[in-house]
Structure 1
Amino acid sequence: MNRLFKSPWLEVNLMLAILILSYIALALISWGAETPPEGMSGGAIWGWLLGFFLLSFAIALVAVIGGIGGGVLFTPFMLAFTSVDSLIVRATGLIVAMFSGLVSTGPFMRGGLANLRICIFCAAAYGVGAFTGAKGAIYVAKHLGETGEGLVRLALGIILCSLAVYFVVGGRKIEWPEVKKVDGFTKWLRLSQPYYEVSLGKIIDYPLTRAGWVLLPIIGIGLLSGFFGLGAGWAIVPAQNLIMAVPLKVAAANSGVLLGMGDCIAVWPYLLMGAIIPIFAAPWLVGQVLGGLMGALILIRVKAGFVRYLLIGFMFFACFGLLTKGLNMLGVIWKIPIWITGAVFILIFAAVIRAILKQAKSDTETGG
C-alpha cells in the first residue's frame, strides 16, 4: 500500500484520477453543449478524445516494449491514415517524443545511468538541428502546399521503411565498445562519468573517443526529428554507441534525456505557428506517459521478441500508407481502395504471425 504513495506511482495515480475526472467533465459538458450544424457533435468530440488517449496508450505500450519511442509510430500513422494537418501532427509528435524523454529522465538520472555531461555536450547540436528542421517544416507547409504535404509523406515513408529494415537486420550495436585510443579533444572535455551497473554488481568507468565527430550526425538526427516530428532515440543510440564508444545501456539512457532537452527547442516554431492545439495534444501526452510506464513494467516480466515483430509489421504497414497517400497527393496514383489497404494489412501481419510462431518454436526447442 505504501508503494502507491511513492514515485512514480504517486504521479501515475494522480494522473489517472485527473484523467478520469476530466473525461467525466468533458462527457457532461459535451452532452449539453450546442454545436454548429456543420460541425461535430459534442459526443463525437468526446469520443475522438477518448479514442486518442486509448490509441496513444497502445502505441506507447508497444513502442516501449519494442525499444523505441512512441513518436516513431505516432507521426507516421497519423500522417498515413488521417486527414489531420501535417503541421499539427508533427508538432504533437514532437511533444509526444519530448514527454517520453522527460518521463524517463528522472529514473535514469537518479540511478546515475544517464551521463549528463554527454547529454549537455550533444544537446546544443541536437537543438540546432531540431530547430532548423522545425523551421524547414513550416516553410514547406507555407510555400509548397499540397505538393509539400505529399513530399513530406513520401520522404517519411522512405525513412520509416529504412528504419523497419534496420530493425529486421538488427543493426550493429556493441554493448561494451572497446576504445583503443582516446583523442585529445575528448580527453579535454572529460565527458566520462562512472556508474553502478546493477547486472554486474560493480562500478563501470568507461573511456570515450571521437566526441567531435559525433556532433555532425547528432545535428542531422535533430534535423530529421524537428522536420518530421519523430522521436529520434532510434538514431541517437547507435550514433553515441558506434562513434563515441558509449556503452549501449548508457547511450539508451542518454537518448531519453537528450530528447527531453532537445525537442523542447524544436517545439517553439510550431508553438509560435499555432500548430499545437492543447485539446488535441493532451490525450496523446497522457496516453504516452501511462502507456510508457506500463510498457516498462511489462518489459521486466515478459520476453519482448514477439513485440519486436509486431512493431516491424506496424512500421511496414504505416510505410505503405505514407507512400500511397503521398503519391496520391502528388497526383501520381489514384486513391487506394480500402480493400487493397486491408489486403496489405492481412499479408503483412500473416508474415508477422509466421515469424512469431517460428520464434516461439525456436525458443521451445532451445528451452528458452
Structure 2
Amino acid sequence: MAPDTRTPALVLKFGHYPVHHGGVGAIRSLGRLGVPVHAVTEDRLTPAAVSRYTRRAHVWRTSGTEPPDRLLAGLLRIGERIGSPTLLIPTDEEAAVLVAERQRELADRFLFPRTPDGLVAALASKQGLHDLCLRHGISTARAAFPETRAELLAFAETAVFPLVAKNRDPFTRRSRPAVPGTTRIDDVDALLALAERWGEHPGVVLQEYLPRADAEDWIVHMHTSAAEDARVLFTAVKARSWPPHAGMTAMAVTTPNEELAQLSADFCKEIGFAGVCDLDWRFDRRDGRYKLLDFNPRIGAQFRLFETEARVDLVRALHLHLTGREIPRAEQIQGRRIVVENIDPLARLAYRRSDYRTPSLPPRARWTERELGWWASDDPLPFPAMLARSVAPGLKYLAASRPRRSRQR
C-alpha cells in the first residue's frame, strides 16, 4: 500500500463535540502513513488538535445550525489555506450532507465521492431512510412520522407500547431538539407528556421498539463506488454501547456475517451510494430478520475497529481510491475488538447488572487484536485531553439520568 503523501486530508466536523475518537482515529490512520492531515477543531486544546499527526488545527466554532452558504464559505476558506486539493473526511451528518449538496462548489478545492442529488440527506434522515428501506425491500422497524400535533394525538390512540422516539432529521440541528437522543416511551401518558414540548410540528419519528432480549446489534462499515474493486466491507457484532443498548459503541468485535455483508452491499448498489458509510442493524430473533436502524453516510466513530489483513481501514481505502491508487484485496481481520475507554467502564457495569449476553459474540479465545479508542503509545496527548474534557460532562449526564428512561439506537 503506497499512499499519495502529496494529497492532504481534512477531518471535517460542524458543531461542538470536542471528544470524538473517530476524528482522532482518522488523523492517526493517515498521519502514520505520512499523509498531511488537517482538522476542524473547537479550539487548540481538543484531542484532535493536540495529536502529533495533526498538521494544522483549523479553529472554527460552529453549531451546525448556520446557513449552508456560511458553512460553505468557511470550508472554502480552509481549502484556500491548505492550498492543494484535499480529501474531505466528514465525521457528522451535517458535514456529510453539506458536502453532498454542494458538490459543484467544492469540486475545485476538495476530493470526495460523488453521490446522486439528495441521497445523502435522505439516508441521514430517519424518514428518508425508512422510505428507502420500504422501496428496496429492506427490513426496518415500523415507524410513524406525525407532521402535526393532531396527527400525533391520533397516533397515540392506537399506538402499541413501548415505542421509541427519535429526532426525524438529526443532521438538521435545532436549538432545542425534540428528544435528547433515542428515547423509549412506555405508555400513552409518557408520550403525551413529551409531546407537550414538541409544539405543533413534532419533528420526531415514533418507532417500533425491538426488545433487547430478542435482538442483537450488528455493525457494517463499507467503502464502495461504481467500481467493484473499490469495495471494502466489514462486519462486527456490538457487545456493549453507552447508553446501554442504545448509543455509541463502547466495545465490539469483528465477526464474519456473509448474509449481512451481502444485504448491505446490495442496498448500497441499488441506491447508488458511493463513499464510506456506517450501518447499524438489529437482528430480530422473533422473525429472523436483520432490520436497518441507521445509515450514517460518513465514517463511524468506531471505524478503527476494522482493518483488513493488508492494514487497510475505511479512511485509508477512501484516500487510496480518490488519489487513484489501488486498494489491496484482503479479508478483514477477525476477532479484532475496539474498547472506548471513556464510555466502556460504565457500559460494562450496566451490562453486568442486566445479565444481557450477546449470542454471536466470539469467545475470548478467538479475540485477536485490540484497538483502543483513545490511547496510543505513539500519540499520547489526545488521551489526557479527552480526560480533561470528559469528566464534567460525564458527571452531569449521570446526575441527569433517570431509571425510568432507557434508550435504543
TM-score band, normalised by shorter chain: under 0.3
Tell which structure's C-alpha radius of gyration is larger: 1
What is the TM-score when the length of structure 1 is the normalising length?
A: 0.26
Q: Which has the higher contact order (CA 8 A, sep 6+)?
A: 1
What is the TM-score when the length of structure 2 is the normalising length?
A: 0.25
Of Structure 1 and Structure 2, which has the larger fraction of its residues in strand?
2
